[in-house]
Amino acid sequence: MKLLQPVYDSVLARNPNQPEFHQAVYEVLQTLEPVMEKHPEWVKAGIVERLVEPERQIMFRVPWVDDQGNVQVNRGFRVQFNSAIGPYKGGLRFHPSVNLSIIKFLGFEQIFKNSLTTLPIGGGKGGSDFDPKGKSDREIMAFCQSFMTELSKHIGADTDVPAGDIGVGGREIGFLYGQYKRLRNEFTGVLTGKGLGWGGSLARTEATGYGLCYFMDNALKAHGKSFEGKTVVISGSGNVAIYACEKATQLGAKVVALSDSNGYIYDPDGIDLAAVKEIKEVKRQRIKVYAETHKNATYTEGCRGIWTIKCDIALPCATQNEINEESAKILLANGCWAIGEGANMPSTNEAIALYLQNKIIFGPAKAANAGGVATSALEMCQNSMRYSWTFEEVDAKLKQIMKDIFDNATAAAEEYAGDKDNLVAGANIAGFLKVAKAMYAQGVAY
């Protein structure tokens, strides 16, 4: 990096102890150099300096009472990163690991991802260090109501529209939406991922996992390949992993592994997805239960071991930095030739460097998992129209959006990086161009 090194140095100096945020910024800035060389007016206008600083960061106390009558206190976050092309949009994550660094890396990535969807949405992200695991429904409700009591002051259908992420699914969105409505006395599309009878969109639940497979299908086809007959390993067993498994299977692949944060299951017969849905979505149990009822399946403690399973295509769909350099080396040594990121930043920068060196087919998260937020934007659209599309209509739009993202990222990679297969550069640049143009046009206080 030359032109943008001072910007990165300033990010490091001004945001100490935020390693995930540094990692996400570095990954983007190192690909933007050729763009800034072509646009000295953006350098002069401080576009990148402004882009790395959130427009607004909100941190708040979330007190609630547990089933034993004890007061618990969590920390809530909403980072409204960039609204140049539309209202802030991005999920809420409830997980004990959540801190400002994680929310900022997710919010920063969201700017580019949302721009790539071709829809008018800015970037934001939020969440809490609350751990939903093992909590009763009443405790979840109490937490969500307290969280929304503060969050409701900062969001709105034309301002900031949160959605789900790790630990926030349909149940949590329901409790959050109910509280927003109670406080504001308005029925608006302020959250996405809502239930189907009260403003939700068909295909939103499936969208991130399906979108990932649609994106990868385009990438595979560009190399004369497909999912048909391929062995696929998917990490995680949450919303993204389950629907990636469903679509990959529909496209002819055999998915042989899934995981959670404790360990992974391997089923050489192919994952029985109906059983997984029952375990995870209905009974909310751990993934190891699967091996108790499937005779050829095995369960192994420790989630990183999943990358030692031989496969053609790997789809990391759990969490950030789940594939480090060592795991990447093992995957490649075992013959894996395509990786599509369903989770956000699941590969370390060292792992990504290895993918690029080895010229495997690589779909980076910003592009490959954008189907979720794209369908959230379609939910906003339906809410504004007070109308709903059929599953097939939404799914067809999603498929087209994922193709457009692939085409735009490929074109940007070719134009600026001189390598149409470098979708890391392509996704960052294609996402950046639209936001930079908007920021430039909207000026800066003078």
**Residues making contact with ligand NDP (CB under 6 A):** 164-167, 169, 208, 236-241, 260-262, 303, 317-319, 342-344, 369, 372
- Minimum CB distance to ligand NDP, residue 358 (Å): 24
Closest approach of ligand NDP to the CB of residue 39, in Å: 29
Strands (E) located in 129-253: 160-163, 231-234
What's the CA gap between 318 and 303, in Å, rounded? Answer: 10
Helix (H) or strand (E) holding 254: strand 254-259
Residue 248 to residue 227: CA distance in whole angstroms: 7
**Encoded tokens for 124:** 């934001």
Helix axis angle, 423-442 to 19-38, nearest 10°: 70
Given the complex with ligand NDP, which of 170 and 270 has the nearer CB atom? Answer: 170
Active centre residues (catalytic): 125
- Least distance to ligand NDP, CB of residue 2, Å: 32
In this structure, what is the dihedral angle of CA atoms 81, 86, 87, 91, given to the nearest 10 degrees? -60
Token representation of residue 264: 């992974």
Residue nearer to ligand NDP on the CB measure, 262 or 390: 262
Shortest distance (Å) from residue 186 CB to ligand NDP:
25
Nearest residue to ligand NDP by CB is 238
CA angle 140, 195, 127 (to 5 degrees): 40
Which residues pair with residue 369 across a beta bridge?
none
Half-sphere exposure of 372 (CA within 13 A, CB side): 31
The number of angstroms, rounded, from the C-alpha of 133 to the middle of its chain's C-alpha atoms is 20
Nearer to ligand NDP, 226 or 349 (CB): 349
- As measured in angstroms, the least distance from the Cβ of 311 to ligand NDP is 18
CA distance linking residue 143 with residue 18, whole number of Å: 26
What is the per-residue burial (b if ≥16 Cβ within 10 Å, else e) of 37-68? eebeebeebebbeebbebbeebebebebeeee
Nearer to ligand NDP, 9 or 292 (CB): 292
Closer Cβ to ligand NDP, 162 or 238, answer by number: 238
Give the nearest distance from C-beta 286 to ligand NDP in angstroms: 7
Task: Please give the torsion angle defined by the CA atoms of residues 212, 343, 436 and 25, in that order, rounded to the nearest 10 degrees.
Answer: -150
- Nearest CA to 80 out of 116, 121, 25, 126 is that of 126
Please report how close the Cβ of residue 180 comes to ligand NDP at its closest, in angstroms: 19
Distance CA 136, CA 79 (A): 28
Of 149 and 208, the one with the shorter C-beta distance to ligand NDP is: 208
Cα angle for residues 110, 113, 118 (degrees, 5° grid): 130
Q: How far is the CB of 323 from ligand NDP (least distance, A)?
A: 11
Nearer to ligand NDP, 122 or 372 (CB): 372
Count Cα neighbours of 273 within 13 Å in the Cβ-side half-sphere.
15
Closest to ligand NDP by CB, 404 or 415: 404
